[in-house]
Structure 1
Amino acid sequence: MFDLAVIGSWAEFALRWLHVITAIAWIGSSFYFIALDLGLRKAPHLPKGATGEEWQVHGGGFYHIQKYMVAPPQMPEHLTWFKWESYWTWMSGFALLAVMYYLGAEFYLIDPEVMDLAVWQAIAISAGSLVFGWLAYDAICKSRLGEDNTRLMLLLYVILVVMAWGYAQVFSGRAALLHLGAFTATIMSANVFLVIIPNQKIVVADLVAGRAPDARYGKIAKQRSTHNNYLTLPVIFLMLSNHYPLAFASEWNWVIASLVFLMGVTIRHYFNSMHARTGQPTWTWAVTVVIFIVIMWLSTAPMRAGDEDVASLPPSMARYTEVAEFDAAYSIVLGRCSMCHAAEPVWPGLHWAPKGVVLETEAQVARAGRAIYLQSGMSHAMPPRKAVAMPEEERAQLRAWYRAATGS
């Protein structure tokens, strides 16, 4: 009833849905607690060990919250942990990365015009870079450099810029920006899994055993939580960037990604200052707008669009051009799709190919075979009906081409 392409497409959708849901839960709780922590007020009646309190109103009721910097005198009867939001965000995100960029490496991950990698090489670099990112970040945090938060954040920014440049030299533009987001998100989730929660468990164990908890565990957890707070917004931008070729297809995509981290800092600084009641530094919005304008200007640099030859296609892609049905399918794509999906689109109002997908050469059409099958063969998503009419018999020819090439 369903072929592998349809099942794979729905698997991507399900994983993306799960990823967005868990990310909303994680980001929501993270932003809430940062705002709560910054808004705590000292009061003379606070219990011993409490450093601040906050009154809040929501949903028709009032909430009275108190924070203990290290721990309360004894273990509370009920304790809510905030961790699975982070874990499931990373697990669903990595699963989505594997389904889209590992299984679809020849289309999404590898760009021969950037670096002609074997699939296994691209996957190894991808996974290895995520592990490297955490190990390097964690080592720096635990070194003497980690004792100064400002110096640590500047060093982290330098690492992120270097990684942005490095990814752009290895992967497709789309994959480069997404991997920088995954690199950063891995650090954030590992902060929760390997530092914040373990430190909190140590404090809980001390309370249960009747020992006085060590304040340094809370201090370390607080530092990592602050880092996560400032990294969240750039990660969201980078994860969304794969839908916008102006962000990822520019020759300066790595600079764009680097500037996005600065916007994350300026935006969070405004809200953190407001929650801490230290003022509303509206200048941060002016800086954010200037940075965004610079990003828009950089995005106008020439798009990455190579004229790949069929001979350079990997065997799994080359077979799309070898079946008898290819000539008919190629003619259909040129006639119905290439006015928009071109290096220089001729459709009025279009200045670049939608999603950065160019369909002019035989090699480009072969690489997009699965997407063409799903978008134009199995569904009527493309081309837009109001713009271009594609007869049903042509869609049938596209389906026949894909099935002949894949043996499905």
Structure 2
Amino acid sequence: MHAYLAEWLSLIIRWFHVIAGVAWIGASFYFIWLDNHLREPPQWKKDKGIKGDLWAIHGGGIYEVAKYQLAPEKMPGELHWFKWEAYSTFISGMALLFAVYYFGNPGYLIDTSKAALSAGEAIAIGLGTLAMVMLVYETLIRSPLARHGMAFGAVLYGLLVLVAWGLFEVFAGRGAYIHVGAVVGTIMVANVFLGIMPAQRALVDAIEKGQEPGARVAQLAARAKLRSVHNNYMTLPVIFIMISNHYPMLYSHAHGWAILAAIGFITAFARRFFNLRHHGITRPSILVISALLTAILIWLVAPTRDATDGSTGGSVSDDRVLSLLNNHCVACHSTAPAHPAFQAPPAGIVLDQLAALRQHEAKVRQSAVDTHYMPLGNVTGMTDEERGELGQWLSDNR
């Protein structure tokens, strides 16, 4: 019953996290699009303090949108704020991190072949990394480096690559990936909480007090816009990480951290095309280069023939393979899993019979032979020789 309720808890939190994330990222995309499509307004609007305007059609009607340089002539009676999309995404994401990785199946986070961590040590490393990177980012965004976009981006990217490598050295691949996503998500929500919202509150306070927004408010607003742009470029990498737990061929690769670094660069670079397109600048070369880099990455990380075959140089008996399944697989992959973390067999894969093993040959080969992702955290101590035997049997019984 505990595993059953834990599955429902994970499902509900994940569902809410996805909904909140869609709302937050959708708002981010929309407002960047909106800012990039603002055009110089007529003089009478400029006289009212309007910086740019936009006309759009949607839902059977025409909209007129105007953005003020700083403050309107009069504070509107109702002002819509966009913050809870970010906060709810972060809160639900942290709840999911605790439910699935910290208090759920330890094999998702801890790989004893990398580091023999206790649950407490793993949690401390994970949360400590989030806090440390956020502090470094806040130091950088408040420094003169923030005025140099390309240099700032290079430093931030290098920091995240270093974090990915470090986490991959101590965590299981899946746990490392999700923690990099949590690091990026923490930076993004910190941008909202520590930068964007204070700037907006300072502007509204000045208007409500009947004061002319001064240089300080203008500076806060400019930095808030910069933080918003940073968040925009981090959206595609963080979306990828959100779905990466379905693809062990990436996070269980020996160089999984480098794969993540490459995908982060490619997706952020591809986002540049759309941001430029909003300004009326079309550079299809960005998408072409992104596609070529993706193709090269796919080729580079493809499993070698030796790894795929898992050849041992001799035949492997059915009884030997059944013994391997019983020792390393059926605790989770059976109709009634004995593993306390599972109410049902993961991905619906049951491996208590050779016929079922043949049916799921591709998945088993990828997870247990090619990537060594299974068993989770290698808690059963499956050896390379045993993986080779399993691969040989799968090759002989196609």
**TM range, normalised to the smaller chain?**
0.7 to 0.9
Distance 1:280 1:159 in 2: 30
Distance 2:105 2:115 in 1: 13
Cα deviation for residue 60 of structure 1 reads 0.3
Q: Which position in structure 2 is the counterpart of 1:13? A: 11
Provide Cα deviations, 1:218-267, integer angstroms capped at 9, x if missing partner. Answer: 10100000000000000010111111011111111111111122122222
SS at match of 1:67: strand
Distance 1:162 1:359 in 2: 27
Aligned pairs (5 A) from 1:233-244: 233-244=236-247
Aligned pairs (5 A) from 1:294-313: 294-301=296-303
1:190 aligns with 2:190: yes
Whether the aligned pair in 2 keeps the contact of 1:115 and 1:170 (CA below 8 Å) is yes
1:245 aligns with 2:259: no
Q: Which position in structure 2 is the counterpart of 1:288? A: 290
Aligned pairs (5 A) from 1:351-390: 351-353=365-367, 357-359=373-375, 363-364=379-380
SS at match of 1:364: coil
Distance 1:100 1:192 in 2: 26
Cα deviation for residue 337 of structure 1 reads 9.0
Provide Cα deviations, 1:249-292, integer angstroms capped at 9, x if missing partner. Answer: 11111111111221222221111111111x21101111111221
Cα deviation for residue 27 of structure 1 reads 0.7
Whether the aligned pair in 2 keeps the contact of 1:177 and 1:238 (CA below 8 Å) is yes
Whether the aligned pair in 1 keeps the contact of 2:107 and 2:376 (CA below 8 Å) is no
Distance 1:209 1:94 in 2: 38
Whether the aligned pair in 1 keeps the contact of 2:37 and 2:278 (CA below 8 Å) is yes
Cα deviation for residue 297 of structure 1 reads 2.6
Higher relative contact order (CA 8 A, sep 6+): 2
Whether the aligned pair in 2 keeps the contact of 1:338 and 1:358 (CA below 8 Å) is no
Q: Which position in structure 2 is the counterpart of 1:151? A: 151
Q: Which position in structure 1 is the counterpart of 2:40? A: 42
Q: Which position in structure 1 is the counterpart of 2:353? A: 335
Q: Give % identity.
A: 37
Provide Cα deviations, 1:119-161, integer angstroms capped at 9, x if missing partner. Answer: 1000000011111111110101111212212211111011011
Q: Which position in structure 1 is the counterpart of 2:318? A: none
Cα deviation for residue 364 of structure 1 reads 3.4
Q: 1:253/1:59 Cα in 2 relative to 1: closer, same or farther (>3 Å)?
A: same
Q: Between Structure 1 and Structure 2, how many residues are aligned?
A: 336
Whether the aligned pair in 2 keeps the contact of 1:126 and 1:179 (CA below 8 Å) is yes
TM-score normalised by L of structure 1 = 0.77
SS at match of 1:274: helix
Unaligned runs of at least 5 residues, structure 1: 311-319, 322-331, 367-408
Aligned pairs (5 A) from 1:203-214: 203-213=203-213, 214=217
Q: Which position in structure 2 is the counterpart of 1:127? A: 127
CA RMSD in angstroms comes to 2.8
Q: Which position in structure 1 is the counterpart of 2:274? A: 271
Cα deviation for residue 357 of structure 1 reads 4.9
Distance 1:6 1:133 in 2: 35
